[in-house]
Amino acid sequence: MRGSVPEIKPVCVPLMPSASFDRAYLTRNPRSSSCVRENYPIAFKTVRLIEAFFPPGPIRRKGGPLILAGMTYRPARHIVSLVRFWWDAIGYLAGSAQARLGLYPIPAKPFLNRKEHGEIRNLLAFLEPVLRRVFVLKALELGPLPAPAARPGLPTAQPAAGSKGPAQTPSRPAFPIPHFRLTEPQDGPRRAGTPPPPAFRTGPRIRFLDEDTPVDLRDYPPAPDDLVPSGPLVRRLLAINHALDNAALYVTKMRRLLAGPLRPVQRLDPAVFYARHLKHLQQEAALALHDETVEQLWPNTS
């Protein structure tokens, strides 16, 4: 922990804007759309709403807190606003990136130019840890969920004696939608990986068309328009949008993860939150979200 973090003022409306709040609170806090528009000066589009997926949280309603049954964590008002802001921001940025890549109707793009590949890579490296911490806080708000009891195996239906039809194989979609990973590598010393084999650079040379000569791409300077393999990167972007479209499913999975002994996120500050290409307000908002997550997962009992 870096020390005491100053209290963050609410930056957008809470999770359930239909509740009755005091007039002064609504007048001094902008709506979530303006928050995203100020921090990301791009053409603002419709963002996903969180009210359609989550039940009402412990917000102040008619002068008192609303507490759900089994609730173990009641976030402060500025944390609720912070979570709502990041939910709208992630939905806008991930949806805009998917639309810019043209991943519809075929959700696949094996190659991207080097410049676009770097931009998407930096974006995903930042959005993934933020989205995990949003799911963690929402799962803590609803409480851990024990793993479902194992059901006894049902007897398989035996084919009729006279039937000789071909075996029915389940159909697999041509482009399966990847799922978002809710866990991060645990803190601690990492094992040293296998060192790459030694490579010897031969330099540009004359190549003959009738010979199968391997090309060493390191002999040529990289250009922004070079095509680089981007299949795994595109699948990571599709996984984020899948998590945003199926938030209730991922919150349920996160609640079951919290019931186990392991923690889904790291305790140390993610290095990407200190990236130089981020604005100062983006870094502070992401670190505040991480600090709240760490405080709830590793409470200070001293």
Q: Is residue 90 part of a domain?
A: yes
State pLDDT tens for residues 60-85. 333 333 334 445 688 899 999 999 99
For residues 191-197, give the mean pLDDT. 73
Structurally, how many domains does the chain consist of?
1
For residues 275-288, give the mean pLDDT. 94
Instruction: State the residue range of the domain holding 278.
Output: 43-53+73-146+224-301
Q: Is residue 296 part of a domain?
A: yes
Q: Is residue 93 part of a domain?
A: yes
Predicted confidence at residue 67, as pLDDT, reads 38
Top-ranked range on mean pLDDT: pick from 15-29, 38-52, 96-110, 209-223: 96-110
DSSP 246: T
Check whether 107 has a pLDDT greater than 60: yes
Strands (E) across 69-222 are located at: 111-113
Predicted confidence at residue 12, as pLDDT, reads 37
Check whether 142 has a pLDDT greater than 60: yes
Q: pLDDT band for position 130 (50/70/90)? A: very high
Half-sphere exposure of 206 (CA within 13 A, CB side): 2
Residues 6+ apart with CB under 8 A from 122: 275, 277
Q: Is residue 263 part of a domain?
A: yes
Query: Are 229 and 109 in contact, with CB atoms under 8 Å apart?
Result: no
Check whether 145 has a pLDDT greater than 80: yes
Top-ranked range on mean pLDDT: pick from 58-72, 94-108, 196-210: 94-108
Q: Is residue 270 part of a domain?
A: yes
Predicted confidence at residue 170, as pLDDT, reads 65
Q: Is residue 60 part of a domain?
A: no
Query: Are 183 and 135 in contact, with CB atoms under 8 Å apart?
Result: no
For residues 287-293, give the mean pLDDT. 96
Q: Is residue 113 part of a domain?
A: yes
Strands (E) across 54-186 are located at: 60-61, 64-65, 111-113
At 65, is the secondary structure helix, strand, or coil? Answer: strand
Predicted confidence at residue 240, as pLDDT, reads 97
Predicted confidence at residue 126, as pLDDT, reads 97
Q: pLDDT band for position 166 (50/70/90)? A: low
Q: Is residue 6 part of a domain?
A: no
